[in-house]
A and B are shown apart, each in its own frame.
Chain A
Amino acid sequence: MPKGPTTRPVIGVLALQGDVREHAAMLERAGARAMPVRRERELSEVDGLVLPGGESTTMSRLLESFELLEPLRARLAQGMPAFGSCAGMILLARQALDGRQDQHQLDAIDMVVRRNAFGRQVDSFESDLDVTGVDGGPLHAVFIRAPWVEKTGDDVEVIARVPHTQEPPAAADRIVAVRQGTVLATAFHPELTGDERVHRLFVGIVQEA
C-alpha cells in the first residue's frame, strides 16, 4: 500500500506480556497508531512491531504456544521493521547467553546478548547516555535487570554504550543499543521516561521502510 509521508504508520506492540501500554502510549505520541498484537492475523496488519520489556522466557514460550513464532520470523525475514527493549532485545538477538536452552531467538540482529548482565534487581539503575541518531542531548536510560550486547556482526551499528564510569568495571562501556537495517534494540526502557525520541526514531524507520 503506497504511503505518503503524512500517513500514520500502524505499529504493533507484541502483547503477550510486559509493558505493552507504555510502548503503545509512546508510539502514539511519536506519531504512529499503536495496536496490540497477540495473534497471527493482527501481526499481518502492522507496518512494524515493538517487542516490549518483560520476561523473555515467558514471551518466548507464549510465542510458541500461540503459533506466532514462525509468522513473526517470516515477517522479520521479509524486512518488517522492529524495535525491542530489554526482553525485546533478547528475543531479537541471534543468541542469548545465561538464558534457557529452549528459549527461541528471532535472529533479526546479528548479535549475542547476555541476559541479566548488569545483575539482579538491586543492581538496576538509571543513567544518561548519548544515542547515535537521537538528537537533542543525552537520553535518560532506565535499566531493569538489563541485558548487554557481547558481540555484534559486521552489519550491526552500535548506537549506545553505558558510560566508561559505570560500576562495576566489567559493566563499563558495554553496548546497550544497536541497529541493523530497520531493526532497533535497546537494553534499556525508553518507554518508561516520557522522552519519546527513541520511539520517534523507530516511527521514522517504519515510515521510510
Chain B
Amino acid sequence: MSDAQPTGSTVSETGTARVKRGMAEMLKGGVIMDVVTPEQAKIAEDAGAVAVMALERVPADIRAQGGVARMSDPDLIDGIISAVSIPVMAKARIGHFVEARVLQSLGVDYIDESEVLTPADYANHIDKWAFTVPFVCGATNLGEALRRINEGAAMIRSKGEAGTGDVSNATTHMRRIRAELRKLSALPEDELYVAAKELQAPYELVKEVAATGKLPVVLFTAGGIATPADAAMMMQLGAEGVFVGSGIFKSGDPAKRAEAIVKATTFHDDPDVLAKVSRGLGEAMVGINVDDVPEPHRLAERGW
C-alpha cells in the first residue's frame, strides 16, 4: 500500500486560540464532575464524565467550612491526573496568575478561574492570553462573558450558586445570557456601539457576536445542578454541557447518580430516557435554597 510522505519544514504551534477553544468543543454534550480524591476521579471516569475538576473541597464544603478557599495541593492534583485518562481541570482564584502558572506547570488540561475560591484580586482577572493552557470562566450575563473572552477565556460557564443544589440561579443566568444574545443579534449595526458600551465589552467582539448570534467559545453551565432532570433542563435552555460540583459526591449513590446525569445530558430531549435514569438514585444532596444564603456568601456575585 502507498505511504504518505511527511511534509518538510512546517512550524507547529501550541497554545493557539484554536486549540484552546477546540478543546472545549470536544467536551460538548458532556458532564464535568468535581472530585476530591483519585478514587472519586475514577468513579467519574467510569460513569462517562468527559473531564474531572480536581479540588480539595467541593463547593458545599467550602460553603459549610468557610474561610479562604485556594488552589488545591499539587500532590492532590497529580494524584488525580495519574488516576484517569480523561482531561483534568483545576481551579485558580480570580486574578491569581501565580496559582495559574503552578497549575499550568502541573499539566492540568484546563484552568477554571473560579468564583468558588476566594478572589485574589478584586479589580483584575488573569490575563489568560499569556498562558498555553486554556481557561474557563464563569459569567452571569453576556457582558461578563465577553469581558472574560476578551481576557482570553476559551470557554464560558454560566454561573449558578455553587454548593447549594438549587438550580434556580443557573437557570436565571443561562436565560439571561441567551436573551442578551438574541437581543444583540436583532440590533441594527449602528446601535452596536452603544450596545458595546452598555455591555462594557469591546466593540469588535460585540459586533462578531451580533453577527453570529452566539458566543465565539463553548458555553457550559455550572452551579446547583443535582439531578438528571436539572442537567437536562440546562441543556434544553441552551447549555452545551454541564459542570456538576457537589451534586454527585454529596449524594447517596455517587456512581449511579453520575452515570444518570451523563445519560440525561446526552438524551436531554427524551423524557422516556430521563424518567428511566431518574429512578432509584438514592438521596440527592440535601441542598440550601439560594434565598437562604446571606448575600455576602453568594458565590455567583463574585467576578465582574
Measured CB to CB, the closest approach of chain B to A149, in angstroms, equals 12
Among the 9-residue stretches A27-35, A69-77, A125-133, A200-208, the one with 4 or more Cβ atoms under 8 Å from chain B is A125-133
**In the bound complex, what is the Cα–Cα distance between A197 and B64 (angstroms)?**
54
Contact yes or no, B12 A121, CB < 8 A: no
A95 CB within 8 Å of chain B: no
Provide the residues of chain A in CB contact with B6, threshold 8 Å: 130, 161-164, 172-173
Contact partner of A57 (CB less than 8 A), chosen from B2, B23, B85, is: B85
Provide the residues of chain A in CB contact with B4, threshold 8 Å: 130-132, 158-161, 177
Contact yes or no, B48 A62, CB < 8 A: yes
Contact partner of A62 (CB less than 8 A), chosen from B19, B45, B263, is: B263
Flag A107-124 by CB within 8 Å of B: 1 or 0 each. 000000001100011111
A42 CB within 8 Å of chain B: no
Provide the residues of chain A in CB contact with B267, threshold 8 Å: 38, 66
Contact partner of A130 (CB less than 8 A), chosen from B5, B12, B14, is: B5
Contact yes or no, A17 B13, CB < 8 A: no
Contact yes or no, A55 B104, CB < 8 A: no
Contact yes or no, B2 A132, CB < 8 A: yes
Measured CB to CB, the closest approach of chain A to B151, in angstroms, equals 19
Provide the residues of chain B in CB contact with A143, threshold 8 Å: 19
Contact yes or no, B12 A55, CB < 8 A: no
Please, which residue of chain A has its CB at the minimum distance from the CB of B263? A65
For chain A, give the interface size range: 35 or more
A138 CB within 8 Å of chain B: yes
Contact partner of A17 (CB less than 8 A), chosen from B23, B30, B133, is: B30
B110 CB within 8 Å of chain A: yes
Provide the residues of chain A in CB contact with B49, threshold 8 Å: 58
Flag A159-171 by CB within 8 Å of B: 1 or 0 each. 1111111110000
> Assuming A53-B26, A145-B109, is B13 touching A127 (CB within 8 A)?
yes
Contact yes or no, A192 B30, CB < 8 A: no
B132 CB within 8 Å of chain A: yes
> Assuming A144-B22, A192-B25, is B12 touching A166 (CB within 8 A)?
yes
B65 CB within 8 Å of chain A: no
Interface residues of A in 33-59 (CB under 8 A from B): 38, 53-55, 57-58
> Assuming A62-B266, A161-B4, is B23 touching A124 (CB within 8 A)?
yes
Please, which residue of chain A has its CB at the minimum distance from the CB of B110? A121
Interface residues of B in 55-114 (CB under 8 A from A): 85-87, 104, 107-110
Contact yes or no, A15 B29, CB < 8 A: yes
Contact yes or no, B28 A18, CB < 8 A: yes
Interface residues of B in 38-54 (CB under 8 A from A): 45, 47-51
Contact yes or no, B262 A58, CB < 8 A: yes
B134 CB within 8 Å of chain A: yes
B289 CB within 8 Å of chain A: no
Provide the residues of chain A in CB contact with B26, threshold 8 Å: 18-19, 53-55, 86-87, 144-145
Contact yes or no, A38 B132, CB < 8 A: no
**In the bound complex, what is the Cα–Cα distance between A175 and B273 (angstroms)?**
40
Measured CB to CB, the closest approach of chain B to A27, in angstroms, equals 16
Provide the residues of chain A in CB contact with B86, threshold 8 Å: 55, 57-58
Contact yes or no, A126 B29, CB < 8 A: no
Please, which residue of chain A has its CB at the minimum distance from the CB of B107? A120
B284 CB within 8 Å of chain A: no
> Assuming A116-B85, A144-B26, is B10 touching A127 (CB within 8 A)?
yes
Contact yes or no, A58 B48, CB < 8 A: yes
Flag A5-20 by CB within 8 Å of B: 1 or 0 each. 0000000000111111
Measured CB to CB, the closest approach of chain A to B134, in angstroms, equals 7
Provide the residues of chain A in CB contact with B14, threshold 8 Å: 122-125
Contact yes or no, A54 B8, CB < 8 A: no
Question: Mind listing 8 A-B residue pairs with CB under 8 Å?
Answer: A55-B51, A120-B107, A122-B133, A124-B23, A128-B10, A130-B4, A143-B19, A163-B8
Residues of chain A touching chain B, judged by Cβ–Cβ distance below 8 Å, are 15-22, 38, 53-55, 57-58, 61-62, 65-66, 86-87, 98-100, 115-116, 120-132, 138, 142-145, 154-167, 172-173, 177, 189, 192-193
Residues of chain B touching chain A, judged by Cβ–Cβ distance below 8 Å, are 1-16, 18-19, 22-23, 25-30, 45, 47-51, 85-87, 104, 107-110, 132-134, 259, 262-263, 266-267
